[in-house]
Amino acid sequence: MGFLKTFAGSPAALLACLAAGALVGHFYPGLAAYATMLSQVYLGVVSMAALPLLLVATFFGLRQTMGLPHPERRVLMIAGWAAVLVAVCALVGTMVGAVAGPGRNLPSDVRGYLGSMVQASGGEAENSEMFLIAAESVGADPSEPWFLQIIPDNFFRVLADGRSLGILLCAILFGLAFAALSKSQNGALTGIFEAIYRALEIIISKVNLFIPVLVFGTAAFFTAETDANTVVAMQSFLICFVPLSLAMSGLAILVIGKRAGLPFLQVLAALKAPALISLTSSSTTASIPDTIEAMSTRLGFSRGIVELITPISSVFLRCGSALYYALLAVFVANLYGRSLTPDQLMAICAGACLASFASAGNNSFANVGFAGMVLTMLQLPVEAALALFVAIDLICEAPRNLLTLMFSCVLMALVSGGLPSERTVVADASSPQAPSVVRFAFTRSDLMIAAICSVAVMLLIIVLGIGVGMRRTADSVGWGGFPAATVAQANIETRQ
């Protein structure tokens, strides 16, 4: 077991598994199906344990947060910083895309190849690729009203279906009610949940020892099923997105180190385990136990805040997706020769934020479909996103998940410092003070945070409804029915 733990935590060993899987997929493509089966087993077991862990971790985080002074202000502070971090990623993606210009001035043969892919969107190849990682896809009933997918009427059903949004909402409501009980009333149940919590942590930690198997299977499948010409044709996007995601992740580590008062390498070593899991696993919830351990035990941040933010951010805080959607929209606009004005760039930034929140509860290839929200705002064909980006999504998924994890840790570091009023008290603790007077008043910063968070919550509810409605429309009508595909191909061929 010690060897497996060392092997699974070694970047060199994971790179070796990646190379081995690529070789198997290239020379023995028939074996890729068996390698994919091993990956599906891993993802199935992780989802089985991670979803209940999301529930229990949210419950414990809420219980501890509600025991702190001014819990409502802390929750508003968390929501406000989360909205800011997502907006920052969308803005950086839009600005870098406008400057770097992915998809601009492509050779005529590359444009022709991409145009043929767009015209043939919805073909057999895309369907087979989307089938790879379906362990966490949300199995929504098309006949069910969209609001029941956000506010479920049966907790056990959403838990069985794996609907992260419904599970999280139930956990929050139950946690708030449980925190209102006295210790004598909730003592027995707390002990039971504690045992369940530790058992689920053990299950996920043991399953994560087989991450090399997932890396091998994913590499074999991707090499066997993906045309190398597609990756080459999309290299202008990949060269922009992957390094930018890694650079922003490194910047996030610097911020965490500054808040913790620790050097960069020490913070990097503490976050090594969850970072490797995010890079190699398509599940955003698989890294929850290691993230809680790293941020609370190793880096010293408040465990209650960490246990509250970690599961919620794995569902809602899609910073990596916000960056991805912004660059995707700029790439498609450049591909179709669209000169973006400042107003359109701002629309891309806002649309990327909305799409990232709307994609909450979805992982892997399901994220690509929500890019249609941004492309529709610019009147660009959605087929371009489905045809071009589904083919390379396995490459984009790793840096996207890593950036989401690192910015979630930044949120924990920012919030763990306490409320502004608490930090002021700590700074002035050494000076003599007059007897304190209790005042029921709000500062300007409190009102600003409350206003921002109220707007963010209203927008989130609206966007979630739009996202679920778009997904239902896509399920019943199909993205392939978008009539702009033929026009898109004609535009590309005209500019060759």
Structure confidence at residue 139 (pLDDT): 44
What pTM, to 2 d.p., does this model score? 0.74
Q: What are phi and psi of 60, to 5 degrees?
A: -65, -40
Task: Return mean pLDDT, the chain.
Answer: 75
| CB contact at 8 A, 203 and 91 | no
What is the tens place of the pLDDT at every residue in 416-458? 876 665 554 434 444 444 444 444 455 665 556 656 666 655 6
What is the tens place of the pLDDT at every residue in 144-158? 544 455 566 666 666
| Residue 224: pLDDT band with limits 50, 70, 90 | confident
Residue 104: half-sphere exposure toward Cβ, Cα within 13 Å: 15
**CA distances for 144 relative to 16, 159, 473, angstroms:** 46, 16, 13
| CB contact at 8 A, 401 and 279 | yes
Structure confidence at residue 94 (pLDDT): 93
Does residue 324 surpass a pLDDT of 50?
yes
Domains of the chain, each with CATH number or no CATH: 30-212+226-420+442-495 (1.10.3860.10)
Q: For the residues 31-35, what does the mean pLDDT come to?
A: 75
Residue 112: half-sphere exposure toward Cβ, Cα within 13 Å: 4
Structure confidence at residue 462 (pLDDT): 63
Structure confidence at residue 161 (pLDDT): 64
Residue 106 DSSP symbol: -
Q: Which comes out higher in pLDDT, residue 88 or 278?
A: 88
Does residue 484 surpass a pLDDT of 60?
no
- How many distinct helices (H) and strands (E) make up the chain? 26, 0
Structure confidence at residue 18 (pLDDT): 85
Q: Is 418 left (phi over 0), alpha (psi -120 to 50) or beta?
A: left
| CB contact at 8 A, 415 and 101 | no
| CB contact at 8 A, 47 and 162 | yes
Q: What tokens were used for 98?
A: 């406008």
Least confident of 177-186, 307-316, 476-485: 476-485
Q: Which comes out higher in pLDDT, residue 159 or 433?
A: 159
| CB contact at 8 A, 380 and 332 | yes
Name the amino acid, one letter, at 175: G
Q: What is the DSSP string of 342-388?
A: HHHHHHHHHHHHHHHHHTTT--TTHHHHTHHHHHHHTT--THHHHHH
